[in-house]
């Protein structure tokens, strides 16, 4: 039983991905339209963490019920799909509705597997399905396997400082940043501004990405000794930008808020904010 149900899940998975992805793309559902991998990830969780184990339980139940098991199975499956839709309707922004489509596909595929498990056409479809399944799952988890560790960033702030700090890059004559123990330490004065000759991608793992890094902030005294660490909720929004004027050197900057509600603050040191 486990074997044919798992095989039915594999076939159902990629067929459901194609059908539902096209539906959400056509109707323009927010968050998932145009993102095949996001759709594929949600369906992967739904089938293998919810439908597959429950289908085993349902099979054990209906095996003890006399009569038309085909009908009972379909009723149980639709109940399971409806329950899933209701439980995760808000969390999946209404997309749990497609659980009904997936369970119907699963039901039909499972019946096909049961009736044709020795046929060549089934074995061919199953082989192709495993290949497609491996490709899709590989695409889903490939970014995580190649996640490169970046350089950690530590902000050293004057005691009690709250508001916006700014780092101006590519400033001629300014001191470059240094990486020590896989960390860049930004020591700010009360002005909240640091000028550096380093480029904005200093410390990045490549020209396109900074890599995974930890951002921490500390209050320090006048001697630079750490007094206390800012909690995560005090580390606010940050962003980058640039000022481009024809015939002049490109100016790039990064700003970061600490200890304040961003909605009620501006960053005076950045002209564009």
With bands split at pLDDT 50, 70 and 90, how would you rate the model's confidence at 141? confident
Residue 117 has phi, psi (to 5 degrees) of -65, -15
- Taking CA atoms, 170 is separated from 154, 176, 188, in Å, by 20, 9, 18
What is the model's pLDDT at position 79? 81
Rounded to whole angstroms, the Cα distance separating 271 from 273 reads 6
Helix (H, G, I), strand (E, B) or coil at 177: coil
Which segment of 105-109, 143-147, 161-165 scores lowest on mean pLDDT?
143-147
**DSSP per-residue letters across 80-107:** HHHHHHHHTTTTTTTGGGGHHHHHHHHH
What is the model's pLDDT at position 91? 52
pTM: 0.50
Which segment of 139-143, 151-155, 224-228 scores lowest on mean pLDDT?
139-143
Q: Let me know: does 25 contact 139? Beta carbons within 8 Å.
A: no
What is the model's pLDDT at position 242? 78
pLDDT surpassing 70 at residue 218: yes
What is the model's pLDDT at position 20? 80
What is the model's pLDDT at position 30? 44
Task: Tell me the pLDDT tens digit for each residue of 10-63.
Answer: 999 999 888 887 776 665 544 443 467 777 888 888 888 888 888 888 888 888
- Quote the tokens at residue 116: 């044709």
Tell me 38's DSSP state. Answer: H
Tell me 47's DSSP state. Answer: I
- Taking CA atoms, 94 is separated from 85, 151, 202, in Å, by 8, 39, 42
Which segment of 100-104, 112-116, 125-129, 248-252 scores lowest on mean pLDDT?
248-252
* Span 180-194, average pLDDT: 93
Residue 152, strand partner residues? 183
* Span 194-212, average pLDDT: 82
What is the model's pLDDT at position 56? 85
What is the model's pLDDT at position 139? 83
């Amino acid at each position: 039983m486990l074997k044919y149900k798992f095989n039915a899940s594999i076939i159902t998975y990629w067929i459901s991905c194609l059908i539902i992805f096209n539906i959400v793309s056509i109707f323009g559902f927010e968050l998932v339209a145009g993102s095949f991998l996001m759709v594929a990830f949600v369906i992967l969780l739904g089938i293998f963490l919810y439908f597959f184990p429950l289908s085993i339980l349902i099979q054990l139940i209906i095996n003890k019920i006399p009569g038309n098991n085909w009908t009972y199975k379909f009723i149980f499956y639709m109940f399971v799909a409806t329950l899933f839709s209701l439980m995760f309707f808000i969390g999946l922004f209404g997309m749990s509705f497609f659980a009904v489509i997936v369970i119907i596909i699963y039901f039909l595929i499972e019946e096909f597997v049961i009736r044709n498990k020795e046929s060549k056409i089934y074995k061919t479809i199953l082989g192709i399905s495993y290949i497609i399944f491996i490709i899709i799952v590989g695409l889903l988890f490939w970014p995580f396997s190649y996640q490169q560790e970046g350089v950690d960033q530590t902000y050293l702030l004057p005691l009690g400082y709250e508001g916006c700090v700014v780092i101006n890059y590519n400033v001629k004559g300014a001191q470059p940043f240094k990486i020590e123990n896989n960390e860049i330490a930004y020591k700010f004065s009360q002005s909240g501004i640091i000028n550096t000759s380093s480029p904005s991608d200093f410390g990045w793992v490549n020209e396109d990405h900074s890599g995974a890094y930890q951002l921490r902030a500390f209050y320090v005294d006048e001697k630079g000794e750490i007094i206390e660490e800012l909690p995560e909720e005090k580390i606010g929004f940050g962003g980058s930008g640039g000022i481009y004027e024809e015939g002049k050197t490109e100016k790039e900057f990064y700003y970061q808020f600490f200890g304040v509600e961003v909605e009620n603050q501006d960053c005076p040191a950045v002209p564009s904010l």
